[in-house]
Amino acid sequence: MESYEILWKTTLPELEKTISSISYDTYISQLTPVDVVGDKIVLCTKSKLFADTVSLKMREKICEALKKSNSEVSDFSIVVAGNRDEYLKNFGDTLAAPIETQGSPINPKFTFDSFVVGPSNEFIFAAAKAVAENPGEAYNPLFIYGGTGLGKTHILMAIANYIKLKKPSLHVLYATCEQFTNQMIESIGKGKASPADFRNKYRGVDVLLIDDVQFLAKKQGVQTEFFHTFNELVMQNKQVVLTCDRPPKEIEVLEERLRTRFEGGLLADVQPPDLETRIAILRKKSEEQKCLVDIKVLTYIAEMEGDDVRTLIGKLTKVVFASKLHERPITIDLVNEALKESAGERQEELQAEDIISCVCDFYKVSKADVIGKKKNKEFVEPRQICVYLITDMMNLPLITVGQVIGGRDHSTVIYSRDKVAEQMKTDTKLYTEINDIKKKLLKQ
């Protein structure tokens, strides 16, 4: 049950007290909650006449009942069933498809607007925005470094999304260092024409975004190829943005000529967020999930141990799941129960292999097909569900997740995870299936 369904369910008893039984049965019982936007719950009804009647004659009583629900929702809007255009006009299109570049798909949710800015990251945010507004002119290269889970990939994709929106004529390529390496090796093995195709792909763009360049370490041949790619782009005033988990001087066995190139632009360090920023991140994420969470609860979660944003959001996700699973509002008691349950002995013993096996058993497919290269729908969907569950239930680096799912790169992991998470919001069957799989795993 979604949070807006729980909210409406707790509001109905109050409405029964204040609205006549005839009006309640005729109108209120026909309303279906479908969303929460800001301080409004979105209700759906079968006709415009019903919608107008409720809005005009029952607004005050419904708003009063909502205020008594102990949530931040105090108002409502009504849409007519099937009228998608009306919904989009009022609340925006939440069904955006991923932007395709010449490399990996870019998550449309990773924008500058969705990035929470605080003292720890305001410098990198400003630098990235300047690069997006004037590619090749502001800071070239822009080298972003910091620990895992602090938003480096988000910033890269925000730059890509901004440029694709504001400067659609520019060619943008986002890839991980692992992708660059694998594609280079593959091109060498395919024959004479393939290396040239590989170079044209990476050198024929206007903006090159490379994630996790620390994996260039100890790869001399790849470093040489990357050096020439980097040089050619920068010399043509094409923008290069790189992320890394450490500054250039700390990357082991990195050629000096690459190190100096990396340090020749702007170095930007992303620090762990302070408490206020952590709270703001949790608030934004709870709003994205259409989940109603009191500020005291958000503060309680934000004060827990763990510096990285990914861990923080993971805790919120577990709490939201527990709220929906048990059909309970999110309170501090529920937070403690949910996180204690997720940290229990079975959760600690849970292995990625257990999740893959459980998913394969549930969908009656073989593990070899799921982690293999086949692109049939009956294998791709369980594969993406495996990725989602592993990232949701285990605290593993994205690169490790990719390795256990057949050696896939971390951008593919991000795409699969986010696709399933988004689909679960509208696909009741998928939502139920994933919850059933989770229950089986937790009971094993």
pLDDT, one tens digit per residue, over 211-264 is 988 888 778 788 889 999 999 999 999 999 999 988 988 887 788 888 899 998
Decide if pLDDT at 93 tops 50: no
At 114 the pLDDT is 86
DSSP single-letter state for residue 343: T
pLDDT above 70 (res 95): no
* Residue 337: strand, helix, or coil: helix
Report the run of H or E that residue 71 belongs to, with start and end: none
Task: Tell me how far apart the terminal alpha carbons of the chain are, to the nearest angstrom.
Answer: 24
- Note the pLDDT of residue 195: 75
**CATH number of 3-91: 3.90.190.20, 3.40.50.300, 3.30.300.180, 3.60.40.10?**
3.30.300.180
Give the number of other CB atoms < 10 A from CB of residue 166: 10
**Domain limits, CATH 1.10.8.60, in the chain:** 275-342
Percent over 70 (pLDDT), the chain:
88
- Domain(s) labelled CATH 3.40.50.300 in the chain stretch across 122-270
More confident residue, 339 or 381: 381
Query: pLDDT tens-digit profile of 24-37?
Result: 888 898 888 877 76
Pair of tokens at residue 341:
């349950």
Reported as a single tens digit per residue, the pLDDT across 127-185 is: 999 999 999 987 999 999 988 778 899 999 999 999 988 888 899 999 888 888 888 87
CB atoms inside a 10 Å sphere around CB 66: 23
Sign of CA dihedral 240, 246, 247, 251: negative
User: Tokens 């004479």, residue?
Assistant: 192
Instruction: List C-alpha distances in Å: 302 to 116, 272, 316.
Output: 14, 12, 9
**Domain 275-342, second-level architecture:** Orthogonal Bundle (1.10)
**Fold topology of 345-443:** Chromosomal Replication Initiator Protein Dnaa; Chain: A; (1.10.1750)
Q: Side chain identity at 158, as an amino acid letter?
A: A
**Residue 440: burial class (beta carbons within 10 Å; 0-12, 13-18, 19+):** middle
Best mean pLDDT range from 82-96, 212-226, 354-368, 428-442? 354-368
Q: Which two tokens stand for residue 74?
A: 């105090």
**What fold is seen in the domain 122-270?**
Rossmann fold (3.40.50)
Domain with CATH 1.10.1750.10 in the chain: 345-443
* Confidence at residue 342, expressed as pLDDT on a 0 to 100 scale: 53
Span 84-113, average pLDDT: 60
b/e map of 286-308 (b: 16 or more CB within 10 Å)? beebbbbbbeebbbbbbeeeeeb
Burial class (CB in 10 A: 0-12, 13-18, 19+), 82: exposed
For residues 35 and 346, give the distance between their C-alpha atoms in angstroms, rounded to a whole number. 34
